[in-house]
C-alpha cells in the first residue's frame, strides 16, 4: 500500500474516533428580542442582571434563562447534563447590570461566581453573579456581599433551599 493510501486510511479510521460527544461546543448566541426564559416564559429583555444559555444536543436553539441561578437549577434536573453541549453566562465584569450587552458571554465552566450578594437577579431572587476574572468577582463581593466560588462549588449548591418556618417549635 502506498504512503498516500496509508495516510488516507489512517485519517478515515481516526475520523470515526471523534464520536458524537467530541464535537466542538457551539458558540454563544445573542438572544433575539423575542427570546423567552425557560422557566418563567417571559422575555429576557424584561429582566436585569446576568442571563444564561444552555445548548442541548438535538435542539436547534439554546435554552435561555432569565437568571444564572435558573440555569444552574436546570443542571440539577436528573439527566439534564448528559445532553449539554455548552453553557454560557454573561461576564458581569464587562456587562451592564440593567441590560447585559452583546459579546459579553463566557463559558460557565471557566467563570468565577459570587453567591449570596445583595444584587437581585432576573426574577428579583438571589442571583449567582458570573465574572471572567477572579479580581472582579472579589471586588463585587466586597461591594455587594457574598462569597466567591468556582463552577464546581456552584454546582454543589442547593439552588432552592427549603424556607425556614416561623412560629413555635
Domain residue ranges of the chain, discontinuous segments joined by +: 34-155
Q: Averaged over 31-53, what is the pLDDT?
A: 93
Q: Averaged over 2-11, what is the pLDDT?
A: 44
Cα 64 to Cα 50: distance, rounded to the nearest angstrom: 11
CATH number of 34-155: 3.30.70.2060
Other beta carbons within 10 Å of 16: 7
pLDDT(12) > 60:
no
27/4: higher pLDDT: 27
Q: Are 163 and 86 in contact (CB under 8 A)?
A: no
Q: Averaged over 97-101, what is the pLDDT?
A: 93
Whole-model pTM?
0.81
Q: What is the pLDDT of residues 120-160, one digit of tens each?
A: 776 667 899 999 999 999 999 999 999 999 999 998 876 65
- What's the DSSP call for residue 38? T
Amino acid at each position: 500500500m502506498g504512503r498516500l493510501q496509508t495516510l488516507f486510511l489512517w485519517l478515515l479510521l481516526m475520523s470515526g474516533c471523534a464520536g458524537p460527544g467530541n464535537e466542538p461546543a457551539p458558540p454563544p448566541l445573542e438572544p433575539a428580542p423575542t427570546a423567552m426564559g425557560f422557566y418563567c416564559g417571559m422575555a429576557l429583555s424584561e429582566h436585569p442582571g446576568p442571563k444564561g444559555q444552555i445548548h442541548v444536543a438535538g435542539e436547534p436553539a439554546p435554552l435561555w434563562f432569565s437568571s444564572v441561578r435558573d440555569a444552574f437549577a436546570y443542571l440539577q434536573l436528573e439527566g439534564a447534563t448528559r445532553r449539554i453541549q455548552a453553557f454560557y453566562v454573561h461576564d458581569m465584569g464587562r456587562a451592564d447590570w440593567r441590560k447585559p450587552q452583546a459579546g459579553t458571554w463566557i463559558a460557565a465552566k471557566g467563570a468565577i461566581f459570587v453567591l449570596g450578594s445583595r444584587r437581585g437577579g432576573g426574577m428579583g431572587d438571589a442571583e449567582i453573579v458570573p465574572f471572567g476574572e477572579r479580581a472582579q468577582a472579589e471586588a463585587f463581593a466586597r461591594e455587594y456581599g457574598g462569597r466567591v466560588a468556582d463552577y464546581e462549588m456552584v454546582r454543589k449548591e442547593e439552588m432552592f433551599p427549603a424556607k425556614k418556618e416561623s412560629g413555635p417549635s
